[in-house]
């Protein structure tokens, strides 16, 4: 087993991550143009959906990354809770806003796609609803994190709710699937997009876009954690200087 505590040291993290940030940052910056070019210009329009299928290249990776972010957030929170790993809370906190934005991107692009395809911006279908609830879970985590005067307390409370949320996500997903049942026996139902095996010409742009999203996630996760560590150092520095100032003042 890897010795987690070796990486628990913020100094160690700063040292290891500083060469990583430009690398993943560069990958993000180069993969996005390539992926977007392939997705928006090279890949063929769909037989049924025509050009609107291109929204998929932005939408699907966002959904994947949103799920990955929530999993990461819950995992980091669990690590923080079990091993009292000081960096894990910071990692969980940094991944949360990124995950929330992916969820939001997923919802917005989905509704933009829904208008021409389904004829409506929003449908209370199982998938849409579960992503919306995922967004609320992210928001709840972030709000709870910031709701305490004592930051460490907020971090641990938020960590607990992230883990509980993770346990409940499958249950929520399952129950939300029942919504389809309800729309079925109450008239107006929207047939879901049946997914045929995706063709290679669409597969590649999608995969490159997913890689770009992943690099973006890693870049901003690292940047977020680094910022948080620097902010903590600044606070500590201020406190030390303030204490020193008090001592100087009293000795004078």
**Which residue ranges make up the site for other proteins (CB under 8 A)?**
133, 136-137, 139-140, 143-144, 147-149, 153-154, 156-157, 160-161, 163-165, 167-168, 171-172, 174-176, 178-179, 181-182, 185-186
d(CA 35, CA 42): 10
Say which residues have a Cβ less than 8 Å from residue 119's Cβ, sequence separation at least 6.
none
Nearer to other proteins, 75 or 117 (CB): 75
Rounded least distance, CB 176 to other proteins, Å: 7
CA–CA–CA angle 161, 136, 92 (5° rounding): 45
**Nearest in space to 103 (alpha carbons), one of 198, 225, 221, 213:** 213
Nearer to other proteins, 16 or 178 (CB): 178
Instruction: Please report the DSSP string for 56-106 in residue order.
Output: HHHHHHHHHHHHHHHHHHHHHHHHHHHH--HHHHHHHHHHHHHHHHHHHHH
Nearer to other proteins, 7 or 173 (CB): 173
d(CA 22, CA 98): 19
d(CA 126, CA 20): 39
Nearer to other proteins, 131 or 210 (CB): 131
Rounded least distance, CB 87 to other proteins, Å: 19
Rounded least distance, CB 183 to other proteins, Å: 11
Nearer to other proteins, 181 or 203 (CB): 181
d(CA 55, CA 105): 11
Rounded least distance, CB 204 to other proteins, Å: 36
Instruction: Look up residue 47 and give its DSSP letter.
Output: T
Nearer to other proteins, 1 or 167 (CB): 167
Rounded least distance, CB 84 to other proteins, Å: 12
d(CA 93, CA 204): 32
Rounded least distance, CB 69 to other proteins, Å: 16
Cβ atoms < 10 Å from Cβ of 216 = 21
């Amino acid at each position: 087993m890897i010795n987690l505590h070796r990486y628990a040291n913020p100094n160690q993290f700063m040292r290891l991550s500083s060469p990583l940030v430009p690398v993943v940052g560069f990958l993000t910056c180069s993969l996005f143009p390539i992926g977007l070019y392939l997705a928006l210009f090279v890949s063929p329009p769909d037989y049924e959906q025509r050009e609107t299928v291109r929204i998929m290249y932005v939408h699907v990776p966002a959904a994947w990354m949103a799920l990955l972010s929530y999993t990461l957030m819950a995992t980091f929170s669990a690590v923080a809770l079990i091993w009292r790993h000081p960096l894990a809370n910071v990692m969980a906190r940094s991944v949360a806003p990124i995950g929330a934005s992916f969820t939001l991107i997923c919802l917005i692009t989905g509704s933009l796609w829904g208008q021409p395809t389904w004829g409506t911006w929003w449908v209370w279908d199982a998938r849409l609803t579960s992503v919306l609830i995922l967004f609320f879970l992210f928001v709840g985590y972030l709000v709870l994190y910031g709701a305490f005067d004592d930051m460490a307390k907020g971090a641990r409370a938020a960590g607990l709710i992230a883990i509980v949320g993770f346990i409940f996500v499958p249950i929520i997903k399952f129950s939300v699937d029942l919504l389809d049942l309800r729309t079925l026996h109450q008239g107006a139902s929207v047939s879901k997009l049946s997914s045929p095996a995706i063709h290679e010409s669409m597969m590649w742009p999608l995969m490159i876009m997913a890689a770009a999203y992943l690099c973006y996630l890693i870049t901003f996760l690292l940047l977020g954690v680094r910022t948080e560590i620097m902010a903590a150092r600044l606070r500590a520095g201020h406190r030390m200087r303030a204490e020193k100032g008090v001592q100087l003042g009293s000795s004078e």
